Amino acid sequence: MSKQLVLMDHDGGVDDYLATMLLMTMDHIQPLGIVVTPADCYAEPAVSATRKILDLMECSHIPVAQSTVRGINPFPRLYRRDSFVVDHLPILNQSETIRTSLVAQTGQDFMIQVLREAPEPVTLMVTGPLTTVAIALEKAPDIEAKIQKIVWMGGALNVGGNVEKSWEPGQDGSAEWNVYWDPISAAQVWQTQIEIIMCPLDLTNNVPVTSDIVYKMGRQRQYPISDLAGQCYALVIPQDYYFWDVLATAYLAHPEFYQLREWETEIITTGLSQGRTKIVSGGRKIYAMDKVDKEAFYAYILQQWAR
């Protein structure tokens, strides 16, 4: 059986590194590269940490590219700082040199090239804003035909968003961060015919990062990857943290853990609700992950990181 081609586009949050670590364990997937979109991070440590993680996972043949797109509403500094912390974790700094290459071209140009050269359509695994995808599509509309589907962590359908009103003025709390960073790009992707399977807050709100699961990662810390995952989650445990990007990414390996539901939606790009993914009759059809077998998911990630 041929492997499923996947290009990942993450935005450098703690969860994004963990999603990358999970993707690298999937035997039936052939990762074509990793693009880092500079959203929930500072770009340089995020790119550096990503390359070091690929080294640790013995995936240094997979190229990393730095996207240079811009957002509209920056992520809080408190979240973005984590990219420096992860980049400095001892387990990622056992060698003075990084083997995984950083490609010379921008992440958006790399995305265009990878899609054009792919022998068959590619799944885009996106765990940050859709800006790099939108810019790539704008520069090279022909690549739409090479995108099999987009699996995306983003949006909030029937629950509130996660952009807190007390932190961010001028919005009503309905937006999810990956949309809010750049609602215009999300709306542009909504204009395409590409199949979108999203993992919204409606689902992730039910799958918290609990002390119990983090302790379980610790109890198998003889495995370096489980140890690293546990350290990363320990870093964010004081926040209200959920399996956002990791839950979305696990879908690639085990779609049978999930129930999908179709919705008609639109992206609100202006005003108080900018960044909202609103259910609207007659709107753009998308699939949302609606339910997940939580126990199977927790068991799966523990098993995959036991290496």
Nearer to Ca ion, 202 or 245 (CB): 245
Strand partners, 292: 258
Residues that bind Ca ion (CB under 5 A): 11, 13, 16, 127-128, 245
Nearer to Ca ion, 146 or 244 (CB): 244
Quote the strand ranges of 154-194, DSSP E. Answer: none
Secondary structure of residue 45 in the 3-state scheme:
helix
CB of residue 17 to Ca ion, shortest distance in Å: 9
How many angstroms separate the CA atoms of 60 and 292, rounded? 32
**What is the enclosing helix (H) or strand (E) of 82?**
helix 82-87
CB of residue 189 to Ca ion, shortest distance in Å: 16
CB of residue 201 to Ca ion, shortest distance in Å: 13
For the chain, how are helix, strand and coil distributed in percent, rounded to 5?
40, 20, 40
Nearer to Ca ion, 68 or 113 (CB): 68
Secondary structure of residue 87 in the 3-state scheme:
helix
Nearer to Ca ion, 9 or 146 (CB): 9
Sequence-distant (6+) residues with CB within 8 A of 244 are: 15, 127, 153, 199, 204
> Tokens at residue 275, please?
């960044």
Nearer to Ca ion, 8 or 146 (CB): 8
Q: What is the dihedral of CA 293, 295, 298, 299, to 10 degrees?
A: -110
Burial of 44 (0-12, 13-18, 19+ CB in 10 A): middle
CB of residue 242 to Ca ion, shortest distance in Å: 11
Sequence-distant (6+) residues with CB within 8 A of 152 are: 124, 126, 127, 130, 178, 196, 197, 198, 199, 248
CB of residue 10 to Ca ion, shortest distance in Å: 6
CB of residue 19 to Ca ion, shortest distance in Å: 7
CB of residue 47 to Ca ion, shortest distance in Å: 14
Nearer to Ca ion, 126 or 146 (CB): 126
Nearer to Ca ion, 109 or 245 (CB): 245
